[in-house]
Amino acid sequence: MIAKGAKRGRLFSLSVSTFTLNKCLQQLFCFFLRNSSRLWHNRLGHPNASTMSTLFKSELLNKTFDSASFECDACKLGKSKTLPFPHSTTRSTECFDSIHSDVWGIASHLSHGHFKYFVTFIDDFSQFTWVYLLHSKSDVLKAFQFFLSYVETQFSKCIKTLRSDSGGEYVSNDFQSFLKTKGIISQRTCPYTPQKNGVAEWKNRHLLDVTRTLLVELSVSLRFCAEALTTAVHLINRLSSPTIAQLTPHFKLFGHHPVFYLHNFGCICSIHLPPTE
């Protein structure tokens, strides 16, 4: 018991001596000091330790705050987030040792060729990108077979590793069986972790950004999205990239700089037909 008081109206009048009152105030002040950190932390909406230290040092409270020993379970649960994925520091030493791949779709507008998807194949060493337009996701295996034949014929190389997500088009029995017959290692990421397939994901974003920009510049119909996409990948392969020391993917793959014979996308042209046409 600290003190007693008789009720007078809506108030309680404390009838204590000065000594007892001073002792009571000291006890209350000590109790406040012990609990002020947690109390003000709750009142202020759970600010971080740095903000609490600054506030307690100000003239408003003028108290000490021990950030090292202060803990709040509500903050740990309410402010928790997934740990960041580390950036990959490994890079292939030769072309076609590792290929990154991803499928994008479904498109909101059909192109002239009625394509709804596209699949990208990115060489890890040169960052050169190939894009194949698809009518459905089931065409991914056929597109990869075309790409593999192109690599074997034009570069006399063998693809060693294919890195992709765990989409159904990559984990199907036909696709996995084909990779095994060719001796290609299939590296698949865990579900719902696009960060692990970051090379292909960022490449898709880059391609779509350039594609939209080309279409917006001319204010043309979205039915030309396939033409804009193939133009975008053609240009990106000939522009310097910071991931390969500001070299161009074309130079890293072919060993010489590209020849620029470019026109503006969507420029006006005239077609000369033979007399029989």
- Tens-place pLDDT, residues 76-129: 888 888 887 777 767 788 999 999 999 998 888 888 888 999 999 999 999 999
- What pLDDT, in 10s, does the model give residues 182-227? 999 999 988 888 888 888 999 999 999 999 999 998 888 888 899 9
Its pTM surpasses 0.95: no
What does the block give as tokens for 249?
A: 């993917």
- In the CATH hierarchy, which top-level class contains the domain 98-254? alpha beta
All residues at 6 or more sequence positions from 131 whose CB lies less than 8 Å from its CB, including other chains:
118, 119, 120, 121, 207, 229, 230, 233
Residues with Cβ within 8 Å of 129's Cβ and at least 6 positions away in sequence, in order, are 120, 121, 122, 123, 203, 207, 233, 236, 237, 249
Is pLDDT above 80 for 53? no
The residue type at 17:
S
Would you put residue 156 in left (φ > 0), alpha (ψ -120 to 50) or beta?
left
**Other Cβ atoms closer than 10 A to 240:** 11
**pLDDT of 250 above 90:** yes
Q: Which residue has the higher pLDDT, 189 or 26?
A: 189
Q: Is 4 exposed, middle or buried (0-12, 13-18, 19+ CB in 10 A)?
A: exposed
Domain ranges of the chain: 16-72, 98-254
Pull the structure tokens for residue 92.
Answer: 């292939």
Tell me 36's DSSP state: H
pLDDT at position 34? 52
